[in-house]
Structure 1
Amino acid sequence: KLDKIYEEIEKPIIHIIKKMQDYGILIDKKYFENLSKGYHKELDKLTDKIYKIAGLEFNINSPKQLGEVLFDKMGMKSSKKKNSNGSFSTKVSVLEELEENNPIIKEILAYRELQKLLSTYIDVIPKMTGEDDRLHAKFLQNGTTTGRFSSQDPNLQNLPIKTELGKRIRNGFIAGKGYKLLTFDYSQIELRVAAMLSGDKKMTQIFCDGKDIHSGVASFVFGVPLEKIDGEMRRKAKVINFGIIYGMGVSSLRKSLGGTREEAQKFYDNYFNQFSGLRDYLEGVKVFAMKQVYTETLFGRRRYFPNINSRIPFLKNMAERTAINAPIQGTATADIIKLAIRYSEEDLKNADLLNKAHLVLQIHDELVYEVEEGFLMEIEKVIKNAMQTVLERSYLHYKTNVPLIVHSGFGDNFGEVK
């Protein structure tokens, strides 16, 4: 099995990844320069605000000094304020707990976000480009234990997407003259793979019917027709959908949903009563992992869990949670995406379009190409088809009722296409 993964999945894309790194993605240096100016100005304003509220100047980037200011000078109280070395903890979870009654905390969190964006991306990326103004980040095929890619110099896998300030960074990744950036991403790939591997009838049906998975799950869990599902019900279903495949327990679920532990327990139980195929599958993965000390993806890619039978509860629980997710994440964002890279390249070559489309980024379940403008529609069709048919085309010739759906978009920069 592992030989097959190397021969059929990993080896055929080594040259494609090398080519992607060598080609690089074009960076708009002027855009980053202006963004940097604006963000540094904002950072200075926040610094002044923090000094004013605190009543003194100190190094905001020093956890030690920040802790002393918040807990000693300003007298804040936190249930988990000490680190193991006896110093004050100022990690995000501690600060968020204090945010409600202390206006300085909001400013500190905003300061930290800006500082991280500047020091990790905005001030760094323009300096890392080659003479061609392109960023040639390294993409590592074996960079993670699940088999998915990691990247470094810089780490593009963590490009911010959640906040407006973070999203703006993507506008600085641009297409060259006469080209567009064309992106493809799998729709809810991990949940589709969960339905596929578990064979859960209800979940499979939702995907087969082309319904929204979160609304569909909410309909079953709350016992309400699809058209009566409101935003809050869908939100709760979304939390549990993603939580469950990451091994989330009742306590974490309660934290994410709000409400009482009893409500969370009821929701959790009801979810698994409705989706019993998924429940049995996840339990089966756990039992298999405890016996074999590893899990396998659909294609047989292994991940080992030496702590799964540990006598230390914390280590055992962590290993169990990770083991539950490994086959799903490894199949979705390692095996499937790597096969998609391979087949897209092969099909572009067969269609004589390989010199018109260049793979420039791979982020999680997404592929980004720089494409000659006149060939956009042709290339979009070829790649989308390759990505949606990877399973039956693979050496497993895997047939499933759960369709793989790919969304695509194009624009002059990476922010525009999202």
Structure 2
Amino acid sequence: DIDLNKVAAILQRLEFHSLTRRLPKHMQQVSDDDSSITQVAELPKLTERDWPTTAQFDGPVLLAFEEASGDLIMSTQRDWFCRQPARDVDSSIWSALGLVKIVAFDIKQLLHQLAARDVHIKIDEVHDIKQGAFLIDPLRRDRSLLGLTGADFDNIPAMMAGLWRAYDIQVEKFAQSPKLRDIAYELDFPLTKVLFEIEDRGVLIDPTVLAEMSNRLQARHRELEQKMYSMAGEEFNIGSPAQLSKILFEKLQLPTQGIKKGKTGYSTGQAELDKLRNQHPIIELIEQTRELAKLKNTYTDALPKLVDENDRIHTTFNQDVAATGRLSSTQPNLQNIPIRTELGREIRRAFIAAPGKMLVSADYSQFELRLAAVLAGDEVLIADFNRGVDIHTKSASDVYGVAMDQVTKDQRRAAKVINFGVLYGMSPHGLAAATGMSFGEAKTFIDQYFELRAPIRQFINQTLDQARRDGYVETFYGRRRPTPDILSSNFMVRSGAERAAANMPIQGTEADLMKRAMLRIEEQLGDKGQQILQIHDSILVECDEANVESVGQILKRVMESIAPELPIKLDVDVSYGKDWGEL
């Protein structure tokens, strides 16, 4: 006989969910750790009951929404569930649900599904099972409904039982880790509601601005193509790696030493073009045309197709993508619009305030570097920040041994590059490429820098030691990232794990504080304004023109006072404008 329990265990371990679903329906898998399904057991069979007539709930309520039928599925006990079309649910039930803890696989998606059917509910305490799984193991590959519960809407009794089991496991896990519990219930879980509101509001764009820019990008692209054809002596398809490789390395005879070679010839990827930067002027033109094509395809042509009937675009913010806890933006990604280039600013000008309204941006100044100073216990750097010293000029002054008023622009620029680059393990090669220094000059600069910033180097080393010893690193507030590859015998894998481990405490602490700020701002703004975007270290609010000053004051006050437990002053720059490009 075949032991179907063992078969199911193997299939789940290998994440072969489509095969798992072909096993008998009564077989479900539960876990005794990390809310994943890794052991085989028979979950309690939930029976379906009639929809309740009274609107009183004593404990947590598990909710799910079946897209195909439009039914809301509800369970208040571990042994039964009920269902009803969401539009037919009595208002007293919705009101009662706002008084208890709501448990769901993906709270934000649930709210969007209900809103799409004109059902808008106010809920208080939530437990998001999907986000809980991410908090417990941010490196887990499969956090789908099927992956976490062993079932989906094809088997609703099993799915609801699996969700209850996942919830119970997560509650137990959080009880064992109070810091992680606090992050869940004070930051990540409540933020799902705020992110729903931000996504639902959307941000207004002016399609004509993007259309005009698209035409200009296309014209400029053609100009650059003609220049390249002239340099190459023939026409070719710049989008074809094989044709481009032939032009660069056969026709123009550019050096191939150190250039990667594949099946179709020498590589023309960005890393290889960097090695050829000073070999021929065509390299710069290739990079320019690629940038133009990317901006055109990703933004000026794509964004107008994504607007709703009110010309507002609705991105999706994800809490469970970056292991640091940072938010990511998808469909479309609005966090990757270039900031420092004129083309990037032009694209941002298409993001506008509605008539009678203004955009207000609040941006943390040197956020990561301030947090690095705190985490490293660098008392000198903390004191400099608290005194309002220009930290890049001060660093250059210390490294070069000159008075602050004698620091040159190039010296300050080098110090700025390394002040931020050191947080990401910048090498002498990286500093040299970014500043134009020679390798020797860059190495000397970094060595002298770390003599002055010894606490930061010590902090990075201690973080790596913790990763090797404990198998994880964590933020100031206790968010953890596992580091399984830190002891890998593969140099590239190990180096990548070391960079990720060194970055995580700083970036993760930044993410924790940004989430805290977003929650506080949503509460403080009331009807004076609405958060519409969160981009890296900044928050964008749309408000009535009459409220601009007060909204700016709220943002600055809340964001600068968000972490009184830290011994460093946080500085926030506030700007106003009719479009994002002005900010």
After superposition, give the CA deviation of every residue in 1:311-337 in whole Å (9 maximum; x if it has no partner). 1222222211221111001111x1111
1:25 to 186, 203, 218: 203
Q: Alpha carbons of 1:101 and 1:399: their partners in 2 closer, same or farther (altered >3 Å)?
A: closer
Are 1:368 and 2:540 an aligned pair? yes
Q: Distance in 2 between matches of 1:79 and 1:238?
A: 32
Supply the distance in 2 between the matched residues of 1:194 and 1:125 (Cα, whole angstroms).
36
Three-state SS of the structure 2 residue aligned to 1:183 is strand
Which residue number in structure 1 is paired with residue 246 of structure 2? 68
1:42–1:262 CA distance, 2 compared to 1 (3 A): closer
TM-score, structure 1 normalization: 0.93
Which deviates further from its counterpart, 176-185 or 56-65?
56-65
**Residue of structure 2 in register with 1:343 after alignment:** 520
Q: Which residue of 2 aligns with 1:358?
A: 530
Describe the SS at the equivalent of 2:484: coil
Q: Secondary structure at the match of 1:174?
A: coil
Q: Which residue of 1 aligns with 2:392?
A: 214
TM-score (norm 2): 0.67
> Unpaired runs of 5+ in structure 2?
1-178
**Counterpart secondary structure, 2:530:** strand
Match of 2:287 among 106, 109, 118: 109
Q: Is the 8 A contact 1:78 1:94 kept in 2?
A: no
Is the CA contact (8 Å cut-off) linking 1:78 and 1:98 kept in structure 2? Answer: no
Relative to structure 1, the CA distance from residue 47 to residue 252 in structure 2 (aligned partners, 3 Å threshold; closer, same or farther) is closer
Deviation at 1:406, TM superposition (A): 0.5
Q: Which amino acid aligns with 2:519?
A: R
Q: Which residue of 2 aligns with 1:319?
A: 497
Contact 1:308–1:319 under 8 Å retained in 2? yes
Which region of structure 1 is more displaced relative to structure 2, 50-59 or 149-158? 50-59
Q: Is the 8 A contact 1:248 1:321 kept in 2?
A: no
Instruction: Provide the C-alpha distance between the structure 2 equivalents of 1:371 and 1:146, rounded to a whole number of angstroms.
Output: 31
What amino acid sits opposite 1:167 in the alignment?
R
Distance 1:269 1:42, change over 3 A: closer
1:162-198 deviation digits (Å, cap 9, x = unpaired): 3212221000000000000100010000000001111
Q: C-alpha distance in 2, partners of 1:262/1:236?
A: 14
**CA deviation after TM superposition for structure 1 residue 58, in Å:** 2.2
Cα drift, residue 80 of structure 1: 3.0
CA distance in 2, matches of 1:257, 1:50: 27
SS where residue 527 of structure 2 aligns?
helix
Report Cα offsets for 1:108-167 as digits up to 9, x if no partner: 222111111000111000111011100001111222111101111111110112321222
Q: Between Structure 1 and Structure 2, which shows a larger proportion of helix residues? A: 1
Matches of 2:363 and 2:180, distance apart in 1:
27
Partner of 2:64: none
**Cα separation, 2, equivalents of 1:266 and 1:55:** 44
Q: Does the CA contact (< 8 Å) of 2:374 and 2:566 recur in 1? A: no
Aligned mates of 2:277, 2:441 — CA distance in 1: 26
Structure showing greater Rg: 2
Q: Paired residue for 1:404, among 570, 575, 579?
A: 570
Q: CA deviation at 1:75?
A: 2.2
Task: Give the letter for the 1:413 counterpart.
Answer: D
- Displacement of 1:93: 3.3
Query: How many Å apart are 1:224 and its aligned residue?
Result: 2.1
Equivalent residue letter for 1:379: V
Q: Mean Cα displacement is larger for which, 307-316 or 73-82?
A: 73-82
**CA deviation after TM superposition for structure 1 residue 384, in Å:** 1.2
Mapped pair 1:179 → 2:345: no
Letter in 2 for 1:363: I
Question: Cα distance, 1:98 vs. partner?
Answer: 3.0
Q: List runs of 5+ in structure 1 lacking aligned partners.
A: 349-353, 393-397
Match of 1:97 among 275, 297, 301: 275
- Corresponding residue for 1:156? 334
User: Given that residues 300 and 347 in structure 2 are in contact (C-alpha distance below 8 angstroms), is that contact kept between their aligned partners in structure 1?
Assistant: yes
Instruction: Quote how far apart the aligned CAs of 1:304 are.
Output: 1.6
In structure 2, give the amino acid aligned to 1:406.
V
Matches within 5 A, 1:2-13: 2-13=180-191
Secondary structure of the structure 1 residue equivalent to 2:485:
coil
For 1:261 and 1:169, the matched residues in 2 are separated by: 36
**Structure 2 CA distance, aligned partners of 1:361 and 1:30?**
22
1:114–1:284: structure 2 CA closer, same or farther, 3 Å change rule? same
Pick 1 or 2: higher relative contact order, CA cutoff 8 A, min separation 6: 1
Which of residues 456, 464, 474 is equivalent to 1:278? 456
- Percent identical among aligned pairs is 40
Query: Residues of 2 paired with 1:70 and 1:257: CA distance?
Result: 26
Counterpart amino acid of residue 395 in structure 2: V
Paired residue type of 2:579: N
The one-character-per-residue Cα deviations of 1:282-339 (angstroms, maximum 9, x if unpaired) are 211111111112110011111122111111222222211221111001111x111111
Q: How does 1:46-61 map to 2 (within 5 A)?
A: 46-61=224-239
Alignment match, 1:351: none
Which residue pairs with 1:395 in the alignment?
Answer: none
| Matched residue SS, 2:278 | helix
Is the alpha carbon distance of 1:65 and 1:197 closer, same or farther for their aligned partners in structure 2, counting shifts above 3 Å? Answer: same
Cα pair 1:25 1:135 within 8 Å, conserved: yes
* RMSD value, Cα: 1.6
Q: Supply the AA of the counterpart residue of 2:458.
A: D
Match in the other structure for 2:158: none
**In 1, Cα distance between equivalents of 2:486 and 2:278:** 39
- Residue 548 of structure 2 aligns with an amino acid whose one-letter code is L
Q: Deviations over 1:36-90 (max 9, x none)?
A: 1111111122222222332322221111111112212232223233334352211
Aligned in 2, Cα 1:157/1:81: closer, same or farther, shift over 3 Å?
same
Answering whether residue 415 of structure 2 is matched by residue 415 of structure 1, we say no
Partner SS, residue 391 of structure 1: coil
Q: CA deviation at 1:101?
A: 4.3
Separation of aligned partners in 2, 1:336 and 1:84: 45
Kept in 1: contact 2:522–2:530 (CA 8 A): no
Q: Does residue 1:249 correspond to 2:415, yes or no?
A: no
Give the Cα–Cα distance (whole angstroms) in 2 for the partners of residues 33 and 199 of structure 1. Answer: 50
TM-fit CA distance, 1:229: 1.6
Corresponding position of 1:301: 479
